[in-house]
Amino acid sequence: MKFIETPLSGLYVVEPEPNYDHRGFFARAFCAREFQALGLEPTVAQTNISFSEKAGTVRGMHFQVAPHMETKLIRCTRGAVYDVVVDIRSDSPTYLKWYAVELTQDNRRMIFVPRGFAQGLQTLVDKTEVFYIMSEFYHPESQRGLRWDDPALGISWPLGNPITSDWDRSHALLDKRQKLESC
């Protein structure tokens, strides 16, 4: 696997390095030793799948607060997404900065999202499926979110008129001076 550093410390795009032959290819999608060698948490507590029927669907910006903060390794297994990650570590020099990467079934890229980041995505095509590897179990009492369209974040989403959930629309807008809870 190839780990590509991003401008946000601890956030990596991960690309498989396929070994091709006449049958196709074989590639590792996860190796705890390689993650540990970079100081990245390799714990796997659960895996999740999201399926979105329509292009333009937005899921996010989601995170869990202490004591249940989580890391995520995310891959699009069908279709394509524009995946966005926001640094919500209040002591970080990149606090409230965001980074985006296109994950598709064809490029097979993944994104490793460390603790202290919010993550969301927008589907770019109909019938898109995303696979998540999570380091922590889901704890509803620790679940939080940021508004996907918050002007304080200024995220540039590729498709207009997004399909969102009531919960994703319910988050209060940020004041850039405020610090997020337990991040």
What is the C-alpha radius of gyration for the chain, rounded to an integer number of angstroms?
A: 16
Query: What is the side-by-side strand order in the sheet with 46-52?
Result: 2-5, 12-15, 110-113, 72-78, 128-134, 46-52
Q: How far apart are CA 74 and CA 131, in angstroms?
A: 6
Which structure tokens are listed for 55? 């292009």
Sole residue written with tokens 């999570």: 134
User: CB-hemisphere CA count at 13 Å for 63?
Assistant: 28
Does residue 99 carry a catalytic annotation?
no
CB 65 within 8 A of CB 117: no
Catalytic residue among 22, 68, 132, 139: 132
Q: Which of the residues 12, 22, 62, 99 is marked catalytic? A: 62
The reply to whether 132 belongs to the active site is yes
What residues are annotated to the active site? 62, 132
